[in-house]
């Protein structure tokens, strides 16, 4: 779908071909909730010479992921932005001024979505009531059900389409073009542009303002809940001179493999059966009891996995009892044995009916009361799920999985990166004119309230649009030399071949899952770092014959650069005596050995007042360092002073 696109303003010869150049005042890269939201905010600010550029309209995380009840996090009734910001920074390693920006802008972003028709529920008085989510103290969460981000994206897109904001579909952004140290535009690859003079399909979008709304590092791990259609684009920003921040901090949790979907909330609270099989599907057995011997601990851990879905180093074993994250370790331990793991909703876990009759009290008073309050009287997990949250069943049915009849294959998967590209309070990077929003922006710390990522997609786009509309940066003509410098892959002497490119990427993703996901293995991290440096260098010798090969070559480098930045960050943290915290364990033990040790891991607090920044000049050598967290501003302002600074535009220069 291409809307209101225009012919090139001029062309440049870059050696690889004669490349078209289109000139805009601002270009938004990405077509998820963040990208569309920013484009609408730019339009509202009076910016008309703008464009959205996307690899694929239907490809992103916003449109293709969710959970049993996907959450949006916002200010609650009787709340304050400062209080919400303090909750957001409570997990540690988060800048307070960014937290205040995210909190203060949450109501504005939320009610814009409401005005566009996103069906957030309200009561008969018009109150948008909420519920408490993880790391939340005030009931700030709201939801439209499993597909909240999809509804958001569709509503934002409909508004952008109505306004005929130019939309370029099928254009992979592969480099950020710079001049005088700042952003000057982007280089893309698209089959739409391929011809005899430009066989590899390069195209340039000239713009003094580039908004990078490309999502998180989705392809760096093999075990991931990100959609297969999304890959990665943080590496492009790092290569352009932006810095990474908190690239050590991600979220991991139990997810289904086909379709890729978070198995959180009610999927766990109805107490499904955990089973494993051999590779061919035989030798079925319930396995959690092999690792968690106490039946009460086992059932309680499953139930709490619902609203303690992300793996947590602090929720494995404590006070003589196994906790919810022991389930993640048991799942991973089975997979380390070469077995497949499933959730089965058709039958009760054996621990729940030792005498052949279901007894919910065995799961603990909290689980029993919760299920009773939800009206769950069913005698199987699927019956309880139907009574509690039938749309959760329908979601899988719409994707060809019948939970009434078949088990759901699962693994422990990467789900969200709390870190990303470093930005200021207007979401601008260290590269003037380059803004990063949505999950690509590194605005969070070790932990964040559930749903705050969806809020960030809207707040970041609105803030960037405000700053851009008041900026004095103007477009300058991109020279052939600047464009050629950005087009630095695909022109080697060695034939690449699509299968070879994809195989290299898959191998790196598998290694990353083993050494640097929720189990961080120091020796393996160092070994992978060395190997990746060589792999990235080798890519420059490859030759691409088609736009598809060239695009995949750039994607592979982007993924590997991002992996290397994450590994370098993890290594720097470990070498600074960093201990297990948040969503990962630093250990040389297997998952089974961790469970057998029954040791409560030390959780790091020494680094909670610091952020870890990571930068590179060449894409293979990374420099990492710790910087102090900026505090939450005190929120004490004199109205007349703010009014004057606002009228004079001084707030955009602070």
Q: pLDDT digits over 431-452, tens only? A: 999 999 999 999 999 999 989 9
> Does the pLDDT at position 602 exceed 80?
no
How many other C-beta atoms can be found within 10 angstroms of the C-beta atom of residue 534? Answer: 9
Residues 28 and 113 in one domain: yes
- Residues 119 and 53: their CA atoms lie apart, in Å, by 27
Q: What is the pLDDT of residue 144?
A: 93
Does the residue 1 lie in any domain? no
pLDDT given at position 279? 95
**Is there a domain that residue 336 lies in?**
yes
The runs of H, that is alpha helices, within 171-256 are 234-239
State whether 206 and 272 are in the same domain. Answer: no
DSSP-assigned states of every residue in 89-117:
HTTSS--HHHHHHHHHTHHHHHHHHHHTT
Alpha helices (runs of H) in 32-80, residue ranges in sequence order: 33-44, 61-64
Cα torsion angle, 538, 542, 544, 549, sign: negative
pTM, full prediction: 0.96
- Domain holding 94: CATH number? 3.50.50.60
**pLDDT of 496:** 85
Q: Is 334 found in the same domain as 210?
A: no
Task: Report the CATH number that the domain containing residue 315 is assigned in CATH.
Answer: 3.90.700
271 assigned to some structural domain: yes
Same domain, yes or no, for 68 and 205? yes
Q: Give CA–CA dist 358/371, Å, rounded.
A: 13
* Residue 532: inside a domain: yes
- For residue 635, pLDDT over 80 is answered with no
Mean pLDDT of 270-294: 96
* Mean of pLDDT values over 227-247: 95
- Do 234 and 125 lie in one domain? The reply is yes
Q: Are residues 138 and 81 in the same domain?
A: yes
Confidence (pLDDT) at 126: 95
Check whether 1 has a pLDDT greater than 90: no
Q: Indicate whether 195 pLDDT > 80.
A: yes
Computed over every residue of the chain, the mean pLDDT equals 95
- What is the rounded average pLDDT of the residues 464-481? 94
Q: What is the pLDDT of residue 69?
A: 84
- Per the rule left: phi > 0, alpha: psi between -120 and 50, beta: everything else, 93 is left
Strand partners, 189: 172, 202
Instruction: List the single range of 22-36, 337-351, 485-499, 503-517 with lowest mean pLDDT.
Output: 485-499
Helix (H, G, I), strand (E, B) or coil at 81: helix
Q: How confident is the model at residue 654 (pLDDT cuts 50, 70, 90)?
A: confident
The total domain count for the chain is: 3
Per-position b or e across 221-259, b if 16+ CB within 10 A of its CB? bbbbbbbeebbbbbbbbbbbbbbbbbbbbbbbbbbbbeb
Which residue in 274, 276, 397, 256 sits closest to 345, CA to CA?
274
Distance (Å) of CA 353 to CA 271, 304, 321, 357, 359: 12, 19, 21, 5, 6
440 and 493 share a domain? no
- Mean pLDDT over 348-357 rounds to 92
**CA 302 to CA 274: how far, in whole Å?**
9
The mean per-residue pLDDT over the stretch 192-203 comes to 96
Do 105 and 175 belong together in one domain? yes
- Does the pLDDT at position 593 exceed 90? yes
CATH number of the domain residue 504 falls in: 1.20.58.100
Q: Are strands 273-277 and 340-344 parallel, antiparallel or unpaired?
A: antiparallel
When pLDDT is averaged across residues 81-100 and rounded to a whole number, the result is: 96
Domain boundary among 397, 414, 431: 414
Q: What is the distance between the terminal CA atoms of the chain, rounded to a whole angstrom?
A: 39
SS3 label, residue 216: coil
Helix 325-336 to helix 295-304 angle (10° resolution) is 100
Could you tell me if 125 and 160 lie in one domain?
Answer: yes
pLDDT, greater one: 439 or 605: 439
List the beta bridge partners of residue 142.
Answer: 72
- End residue of a domain, out of 431, 458, 484: 484
pLDDT at 546: 96
Say what the pLDDT of residue 134 is.
Answer: 81
User: What pLDDT is recorded for position 513?
Assistant: 95
Residues counted in the chain = 654
Shared-domain flag, residues 402 and 511: no
Q: For residue 475, what pLDDT is reported? A: 86
pLDDT in tens, 367-415: 999 999 999 988 899 999 999 999 999 999 999 999 999 999 999 999 9
Nearest to 495 by CA among 535, 539, 544, 536: 544
Confidence of residue 113 (pLDDT cuts 50, 70, 90): very high
Domain annotation covers residue 642:
no
CA angle 516, 237, 55 (to 5 degrees): 95
Q: Is the pLDDT of residue 51 over 80?
A: yes
The pLDDT, as a whole number, for residue 273 is 97
In a domain, 124, yes or no: yes
The answer to whether residue 67 is domain-embedded is yes
How remote is the C-alpha of 352 from its chain's centroid? 35
Q: Of 467, 484, 501, which marks where a domain is finished? A: 484
pLDDT for res 643: 95
Give residue-wise pLDDT tens across range 9-25. Answer: 999 999 889 999 999 99
- Residue recorded with tokens 């909750």: 87
> CA 26 from chain center: how many Å?
24
Whether 307 and 261 map to the same domain: the answer is yes
Question: Which pLDDT score, from 0 to 100, does residue 600 have?
Answer: 78
Mean pLDDT for the stretch of residues 448-460: 96
Give the whole-angstrom CA distance, residue 368 versus residue 73: 28
* pLDDT grade for 430, boundaries at 50, 70 and 90: very high
634 pLDDT more than 90: no
Vertex 119: Cα angle to 114 and 125 (nearest 5): 75
8 A C-beta contact, residue 207 and residue 185: yes
* CB atoms closer than 10 angstroms to residue 220: 31
Within a domain: 639: no
Q: Which domain holds residue 403?
A: 252-414
Q: Are residues 69 and 193 in the same domain?
A: yes
Give the integer Cα–Cα distance in Å for 207 and 210: 7
């Amino acid at each position: 779908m291409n809307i209101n696109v225009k012919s090139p303003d001029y062309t440049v010869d870059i050696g690889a071909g004669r490349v078209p150049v289109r000139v805009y005042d601002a270009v938004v890269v990405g077509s998820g909730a963040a990208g569309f939201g920013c484009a609408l905010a730019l339009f509202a600010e009076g910016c008309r010479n703008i464009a959205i550029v996307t690899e694929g309209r239907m490809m992103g995380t916003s449109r293709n992921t969710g959970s049993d009840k996907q959450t949006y996090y916002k200010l609650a009734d009787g709340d304050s932005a400062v209080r919400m910001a303090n909750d957001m920074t409570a997990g540690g390693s988060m800048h307070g001024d960014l937290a205040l920006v995210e909190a203060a802008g949450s109501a504005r972003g939320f009610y814009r979505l409401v005005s566009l028709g996103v069906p957030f529920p309200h009561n008969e008085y018009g109150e948008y009531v909420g519920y408490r989510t993880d790391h939340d103290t005030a009931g700030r969460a709201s939801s439209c059900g499993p597909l909240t981000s999809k509804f958001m994206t569709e509503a934002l897109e409909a508004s952008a389409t109505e306004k005929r904001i130019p939309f370029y579909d099928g254009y992979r952004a592969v480099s950020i073009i710079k001049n005088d140290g700042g952003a000057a535009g982007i280089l893309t690859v698209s089959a739409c542009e391929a011809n005899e003079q430009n066989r590899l399909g390069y195209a340039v979008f000239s713009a003094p303002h580039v908004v990078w709304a490309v999502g998180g590092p989705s392809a760096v791990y093999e075990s991931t809940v990100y959609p297969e259609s999304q890959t990665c684009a943080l590496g492009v920003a790092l290569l352009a001179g932006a810095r990474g921040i908190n690239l050590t901090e991600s979220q991991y949790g139990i997810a289904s493999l086909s379709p890729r979907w978070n198995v959180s909330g009610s999927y766990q609270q109805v107490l499904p059966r955990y089973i494993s099989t051999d590779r061919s599907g035989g030798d079925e057995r319930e396995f959690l009891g092999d690792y968690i011997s106490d039946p009460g601990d086992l059932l309680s851990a499953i139930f709490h996995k619902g609203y303690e879905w992300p793996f947590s180093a602090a929720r494995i074993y404590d006070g003589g009892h196994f906790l919810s994250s022991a389930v993640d370790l048991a799942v991973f331990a089975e997979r380390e044995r070469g077995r497949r793991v499933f959730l089965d909703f058709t039958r009760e876990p054996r621990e729940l009916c030792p005498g052949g009759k279901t007894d919910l009290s065995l799961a603990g008073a909290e689980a029993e009361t919760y299920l009773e309050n939800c009206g769950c009287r069913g005698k199987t997990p699927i019956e309880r799920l139907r009574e509690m949250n039938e749309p959760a069943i329908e979601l899988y049915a719409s994707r060809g999985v019948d939970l009434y009849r078949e088990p759901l294959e699962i693994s422990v998967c990467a789900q969200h990166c709390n870190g990303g590209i470093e930005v200021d309070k207007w979401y601008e990077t260290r590269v003037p004119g380059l803004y990063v929003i949505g999950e690509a922006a590194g605005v969070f710390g070790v932990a964040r309230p559930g749903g705050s990522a969806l809020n960030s997609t809207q707040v970041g786009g609105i803030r960037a649009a405000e700053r851009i509309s008041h900026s004095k940066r103007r477009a300058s003509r991109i020279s052939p030399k600047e464009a050629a410098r950005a087009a630095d892959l695909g022109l080697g002497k060695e034939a690449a071949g699509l299968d070879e490119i994809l195989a290299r990427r898959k191998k790196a993703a598998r290694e990353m899952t083993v050494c640097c996901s929720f189990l961080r293995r120091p020796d393996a991290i160092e070994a992978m770092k060395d190997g990746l440096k060589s792999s990235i260098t080798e890519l420059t010798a490859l030759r691409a014959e088609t736009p598809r090969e060239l695009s995949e070559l750039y994607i592979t480098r982007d993924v590997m650069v991002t992996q290397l930045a994450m590994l370098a960050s993890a290594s720097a943290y470990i070498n600074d005596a960093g201990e297990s915290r948040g969503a990962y364990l630093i250990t040389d033990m297997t998952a089974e050995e961790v469970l057998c040790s029954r040791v409560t891991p030390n959780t790091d607090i020494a680094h909670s007042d610091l952020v870890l920044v990571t930068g590179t000049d060449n894409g293979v050598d990374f420099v990492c360092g710790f910087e102090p967290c900026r505090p939450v501003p005190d929120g004490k302002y004199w109205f007349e002073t703010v009014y004057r600074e606002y009228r004079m535009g001084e707030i955009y220069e602070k």
